[in-house]
Amino acid sequence: MLRVRNLEAGYNKLRVLRGISIHVGAGEIVTVIGANGAGKSTFLNTVAGLLQPLSGEIEFDDQPLGRISPFNVVARGCALVPEGRLVFAPLSVAENLTLGAYHQYRRRRKALAEQQLERVYALFPVLRERRSQLAGTLSGGEQQMLAIGRALMAGPRLLMLDEPSMGLAPLIVKSILETIAGLRKDGVTILLVEQNSKAALGIADRGYVMETGSIVLEGTAEELLNNNEVQRAYLGKEYQSIAER
């Protein structure tokens, strides 16, 4: 579904991504893990069109995605839940969700958008309760749900999430990740970028490990969870406990 080849991108002449190749098959849950500053967010922003790639290819559904405007990427069916949630704080929850389906309304697919709204409310019932509340007044977890719900309103086939666990309590992280995993049955493919490697690998089929702008490791979630390097660097296991095994 998403195929990225030799992607290089960055800010001005500062190259952050140095030849990234990643593919995500339809119906998969794929995660990209890595430390802070590895280039994970840069990668997602480039796929979403917020940054222009310096070189390399991005294909979505066998169509090149590299040079189209960011607001058209959504219409193609590829939505990003940005880092830090970025809900429209002074707008109500319902307005936030409506705007998520902006391109559906623009194409006069009102019925589709309303159908989608029901699905989002079913997924996150708390959003229905708070639909007339201002988004800025929600708790962190609720804001994350709203951000995910807003992205889902666009009816994406690929949902990209940037650090959805950031700053949330472990219990809430668990419930949000479970919801994300459950989206698969609705035919949504997931590309999840996380610093919380354990939680991410817990729901993913496959994973990539990114370090200073390059992919250093890839494999199934199981392989990565059991990989010594990954355990040491990202799962917080101590040397000793790995060596003793």
Partner 1 sequence: MSREWVPFGALAATVILIQLVTMFTNTQYYLTQLIMAALYSIVVIGLCLLMGYAGQISLGHAGFFAIGGYTAAVGTTLNLLPHRDHVLVRMAERAGLTIQTTNSWGVDILYFSPWITLLAALLLSGVISLLIGIPVLRLRGHYLAMATLGFGAIIYYILLGSRFLGEADGIYDVPGFGLPGGFTFDGARNNRVLSYYFVWALVIGLMVLMHNLVNSRPGRALRAIHGNEPAAMAMGVDTARYKLSLFVLSAVCAALGGVFMAHYNGGMGPTEAGTLKAVRYVAIVAVGGMASLWGTLGASVVLNFLSLRGYFGSLDDAVFGVVLITVMLVAPDGILRRLGMYTLRRNRDTAPDAFPVSAEKQVQRGTA
Partner 2 sequence: MSSELIIQYILSGVTSGSVYAIVAIGFNIIYNTTGIINFAQGEFVMLGGMIAISLVPFMPLPMAVALAVVITAAVGALAQIAFIRWLKRPHVLQLIIITIGLSILLREAALHIWDEKVRSLPYFTGTVVTSVRIFGAYVSPQVFWVLGVCGAAVVLLSLFFGRTLIGQAMRACSADPLAATLCGINQKNMVTLSFVISAALGALAGCVVSPITQTHYECGTPLAIKGFTVAIVGGLGNSTGAVAAGLLLGIIEAFSISIMPMAYKDIIAISILLAVLSYRPTGLFVRREVGALKEF
Residues lying near partner 2 in the complex (CB under 8 A) are found at 48, 50, 69-72, 74-75, 79-80, 82, 86-91, 95, 98-100, 102-103, 105-106, 150-151, 154
Q: How far is the CB of 14 from partner 1 (least distance, A)?
A: 8
DSSP characters for 12-25? TTEEEEEEEEEEE-
Q: Locate 157 and state its tokens.
A: 């086939």
Q: How far is the CB of 171 from partner 2 (least distance, A)?
A: 26
Q: Locate 70 and state its tokens.
A: 């960011």
Q: How far is the CB of 11 from partner 1 (least distance, A)?
A: 9
For residue 89, the partner it binds in partner 1, partner 2, none, with Cβ less than 5 to 8 A by kind, is partner 2
For residue 74, the partner it binds in partner 1, partner 2, none, with Cβ less than 5 to 8 A by kind, is partner 2
CA 28, distance to chain mean position in Å, is 13
Amino acid in the structure at residue 171: L
Decide: is 54 part of the binding site for partner 1 (CB under 8 A).
Answer: no
CB atoms within 10 A of CB 12: 5
H or E element, residue 135: none
Q: How far is the CB of 78 from partner 2 (least distance, A)?
A: 10
For residue 105, the partner it binds in partner 1, partner 2, none, with Cβ less than 5 to 8 A by kind, is partner 2
CB 59 within 8 A of CB 3: yes
* Angle, helix 140-153 to helix 110-123, in steps of 10 degrees: 150
Give the full edge-to-edge strand order of the sheet including 29-34.
Answer: 78-81, 158-162, 189-194, 29-34, 206-211, 214-220
Q: How far is the CB of 110 from partner 2 (least distance, A)?
A: 10
For residue 148, the partner it binds in partner 2, partner 1, none, with Cβ less than 5 to 8 A by kind, is none
Q: Which is nearer to partner 1, 12 or 69 (CB)?
A: 12
For residue 13, the partner it binds in partner 2, partner 1, none, with Cβ less than 5 to 8 A by kind, is partner 1
Decide: is 8 part of the binding site for partner 1 (CB under 8 A).
Answer: no
- Considering only 13, 106, 108, 185, the residue that binds partner 1 (CB under 8 A) is 13
CB 53 within 8 A of CB 227: no
Q: How is the chain split among helix, strand and coil, in percent rounded to 5?
A: 45, 25, 30
For residue 102, the partner it binds in partner 2, partner 1, none, with Cβ less than 5 to 8 A by kind, is partner 2
Q: How far is the CB of 166 from partner 2 (least distance, A)?
A: 15
Decide: is 12 part of the binding site for partner 1 (CB under 8 A).
Answer: yes
In whole angstroms, give the CA distance from residue 111 to residue 104. Answer: 9
CB 58 within 8 A of CB 64: yes
Contact residues for partner 1, defined by CB under 8 A: 12-14
